[in-house]
Amino acid sequence: MSKAELKDPILIAAWPGMGNVALTACYYLISSLKMEFRAEYATGDLYDVDHVAVEGGLAQPFRYPKNQFFVWRNPDGGSDLLIFIGEAQPPQ
């Protein structure tokens, strides 16, 4: 997605934490505005594996957190909206 596709875009970014207030607000906007899923950003290089899930005595592959982008184009010609949702806090 290029900037040219969006008109004066506003970005809202949300990660989990502090009662998931930011995530809840963004999921509400995504649902209410019927925002379009645009992209998922791979995070494999950003996070370390910090645990191993075991099912039936077998270690399961680690599932890296997802980072997703959603877009809404303002039908009235104003600024478009881009929402970024991160499933986990970025490493420090």
* pLDDT average per 10 residues of sequence, the chain (92 residues): 78 92 96 96 76 91 88 95 90 70
**3 inside domain:** no
**57 inside domain:** yes
**1 inside domain:** no
Q: What is the structure's pLDDT at 87?
A: 87
How many domains does the structure of the chain reveal? 1
**58 inside domain:** yes
Give ∠ CA 33-65-67 in degrees, rounded to 5.
Answer: 35
Q: What is the structure's pLDDT at 42?
A: 77
Q: What is the structure's pLDDT at 47?
A: 75
- Number of Cβ atoms within 10 Å of the Cβ of 48: 6
> Where would I find the H helices in 1-92?
21-32
Task: Report how far residue 38's alpha carbon sits from residue 32's, in angstroms, rounded to the nearest whole number.
Answer: 17
pTM: 0.79
Q: Which residues contact 49 (CB under 8 A, 6 or more apart)?
A: 62
Q: What is the structure's pLDDT at 18?
A: 85
Domain span at residue 27 reads 8-86
Q: What is the structure's pLDDT at 74?
A: 96
